[in-house]
Chain A
Amino acid sequence: MYINPPEKKDMDKVGAFVKRQPVTATAEATLLDAVKLMASHNIGLVVVVDDAGRPVGVVSERDVIRALARGAQLSEKALDVGTKGNLLVAKAEEDIYSAVKKMRERGTRHILVVDDAGRLVGVVSIRDLVEDRALKAIGDKVWWPPPEE
């Protein structure tokens, strides 16, 4: 289920792995706002964007857990417990393998996909990558539906 169905030749590009609209919050969002977004969308990462839609930070489930473990309140600013700046980003036309490499080096489960103006267009998660790897590894086994092309 792709937002923009990729051409077959583009299947190795980051853009081909963006499978849903990104879930975003503003810099004013509280930890509770972020938690509610995660729960209602069943996702593990909320991206904080500026007025132009450019990512300025991310808040992950793990950030929430760590914050609470050190006694943070849900009324705190989400951005204060997440990662602010120095975000892991890729362009849609970038090779997926360089994106995977960056994720592994940083130890993150997500990479933000941005356009030429730096605006957020999507998020690729480790799940999207495992899905693709699994499809390739499993190949033509009958109990697995064929990969969409």
Chain B
Amino acid sequence: MKKVGELIRRTPITVQPSDTLLDVIDKLAQHEVGALVVVSPAEQRRPLAVISERDVVKALAMRMPLTTPVEAFMSTRLITISPEEPVDKAADLMITNNIRHLVVVDPDGSLRGVISIRDVLRALRT
């Protein structure tokens, strides 16, 4: 079974809590990813939250302006995993928490990357 760390394919795309939903939309579209990691300006390697396509859609459904700050809609209940964990642990976390992305953090809590449910399915099949 592959380890979670092997599934990380790029440096994580981040935003700051004071950035806007439009910033999020632009970054999601530009990098073709489904979620961004929210970090504070002071500590760029420490993940605070995640903001996903789903969070943006929820904001849109409430007719929130695209100038709304990220911190209003980000998910602060951060679900993280260590790069050393097996992929089936990642699948378990995604299913039980009904999420499509996990933030991968090193033992010291610093941001390593993000894995998606698509990455997990690919790894479980091979």
Contacts and interface: CB of A to CB of B under 8 A. Distances in A.
B12 interface: no
Interface stretch (A3-11, A113-121, A125-133): A125-133
Contacts of A86: none
B95 interface: yes
Contacts of A20: none
A38 B120 CA distance: 23
B36 to A, nearest CB: 11
Contacts of A27: none
A100 to B, nearest CB: 8
Nearest to A125: B117
A134 B34 CA distance: 21
Given A68-B25, A133-B124, A44 B91 contact: no
B118 interface: yes
Interface in A85-134: 100, 104, 109, 126-127, 129-131, 133-134
A142 interface: no
Contacts of B92: 134, 138, 144
A66 B98 CA distance: 23
A32 B91 CA distance: 32
Contacts of B91: 130-131, 133-134, 137
A7 B125 CA distance: 24
Interface of A: 32, 35-36, 38-40, 42, 44, 61-62, 64-66, 68-70, 74, 100, 104, 109, 126-127, 129-131, 133-134, 137-138, 144
In the A-B complex, the 3 residue pairs with the closest CB atoms: A69-B29, A39-B61, A134-B91
Given A109-B118, A127-B117, 17 more contacts: A32-B61, A44-B54, A61-B54, A62-B34, A65-B25, A65-B28, A65-B29, A68-B22, A68-B60, A74-B60, A126-B121, A131-B95, A133-B121, A133-B124, A134-B91, A134-B92, A138-B88
